[in-house]
Amino acid sequence: MDRERLIRYLSLLVIGVAAAVPFVSGTNLYLLNVLILMLIFIIFSSSWNLLAYSGQGSLGHAAFFGIGGYASTLIAIQSGLSPYITIFLGGAFAAGIGVLIGLTCVRLKEWFLAMVTFGFAIIVQAITVSFLASITGGWDGIASPRLVSSQVPGYILIEYYSILALTIGVILLIYLIFKSKIGMAFLAIRENEIEARVSGVDPVRYKLLAFAISAGLAGIAGALEIHYFGYITPEIYGIDISFWPIIYSILGGLGTIAGPVVGTVVLTVLWDGLKIFGLTYERYIIIGAILILSVIFLPKGLVSLPDKLAGWWKRRGNKKLRNQA
């Protein structure tokens, strides 16, 4: 298929550009910092998007982001393992919690689910700063080992390429899931749960699977961010951390693989671009307005823009022909 090939080449081009950036910019710390956070949020948004793909819109994904971060940090501190291993353990722990949360959610739909997930982020934060304060450091947080020790020369480049590789891996994984029987099952459940059940898809099992994968990936993203920052506080469960992946995914294109990537890149560029102009609250106002406009006028996100423009161009051409005739 022509289109498929085009997308494949485009992806390779994007990966090439991402890999080449440090060669062009040198070790520009500001740029690398922006790019690393962008990559982490691509993983995070993609994980949210995967859950939404199965028809479950979470409003509290920061819970998994934070659980992954805390679990990885605590495992790394207690066991002395390298963060390169503990990020996956943290992700696995988040996936386990995700299944537990999913168990309460499988019977719920749309905004009932949204409410419960929103609440979980708040409950998890409360547990972190009260019952678990002795190991999590309460509101003050705790230091977390860095992904690569800052004594290593060029450590930030190693971190950048590690995270880039992981991001590509995650997107590939999601691509494979979407293509597989599992992805079909997610789609079937999202479109019509009863029909899915009739055709032999067990909705509960697949919804829990979606929760596990999504929470696990979000946990890995959270762990990456924490090991990159070298510090974790309960602010990681903040409402805005839950909202960002949603905004990125919607703007990019809900339920597509490219959507969260495109949305994250475009908004990160916009966000940091506006910062240069010294805007603070205005940035949020602009983001809010963009979100509203895109829900109303571009409900399928930026990835649908080329098709939309092509359609508009074609209609325009037809009109011209008709006028000439």
Partner 1 sequence: MGELEIFLQILFWGLYAGCIYILLATGLNLIFGVMKIVNFAHGEFLMVGAYVTATVFALTGLNPYVIILFSMVVLVAIGAAVERFCFRPILGTGKLNEIFLSLGLIYLFQNLAALIWTDEWQSIQSPYASISIPIGPLNVPLDYIIIMVVTAIILTGLHLFLKRSRTGRAMRATSQNRKGAMLVGIDVERMDVFSFSIGCALAAAAGTLWVVSGQVFNPYMGSIPAVKAFAIIILGGLGSIPGAIIGGLIYGVAENGAAFLLGGIWKDAVSFIILIVVLVVRPTGLFGESGE
- Tell me which residues touch partner 1 (CB under 8 A): 52, 57, 59, 104, 107-112, 114-116, 118-120, 122-123, 125-127, 129-130, 239, 243, 246-247, 250, 254, 281-282, 284-285, 287-292, 295-296, 299
Measure the CA–CA gap between 18 and 39, rounded to whole angstroms: 10
Percent helix, strand and coil across the chain, each rounded to 5? 80, 0, 20
Q: What is the DSSP letter of 152?
A: S
Nearer to partner 1, 85 or 293 (CB): 293
- Closest distance between partner 1 and the C-beta of residue 225, in Å? 21
Would you state the structure tokens that stand for residue 305, as one six-digit string? 């823009």
- Closest distance between partner 1 and the C-beta of residue 170, in Å? 23
Q: Where are the beta strands (DSSP E) in 144-298?
A: 231-232
Cβ(177)–Cβ(169) below 8 Å? no
Measure the CA–CA gap between 164 and 313, rounded to whole angstroms: 37
Measure the CA–CA gap between 53 and 48, rounded to whole angstroms: 9
Nearer to partner 1, 86 or 125 (CB): 125
Q: What is the DSSP letter of 142?
A: E
Strand pairing of 231-232 and 142-143?
antiparallel
- Closest distance between partner 1 and the C-beta of residue 72, in Å? 23
- Closest distance between partner 1 and the C-beta of residue 109, in Å? 7
Nearer to partner 1, 229 or 271 (CB): 271
Nearer to partner 1, 228 or 237 (CB): 237
Nearer to partner 1, 86 or 128 (CB): 128
Nearer to partner 1, 235 or 318 (CB): 235
Cβ(42)–Cβ(264) below 8 Å? yes
Sign (positive/negative) of CA torsion 8, 14, 17, 19?
negative
- Closest distance between partner 1 and the C-beta of residue 83, in Å? 29
- Closest distance between partner 1 and the C-beta of residue 236, in Å? 15
Measure the CA–CA gap between 13 and 19, rounded to whole angstroms: 10
Nearer to partner 1, 27 or 130 (CB): 130
Measure the CA–CA gap between 65 and 220, rounded to whole angstroms: 7
- Closest distance between partner 1 and the C-beta of residue 59, in Å? 7
CA torsion 295-298-299-304 (nearest 10°) is: -150
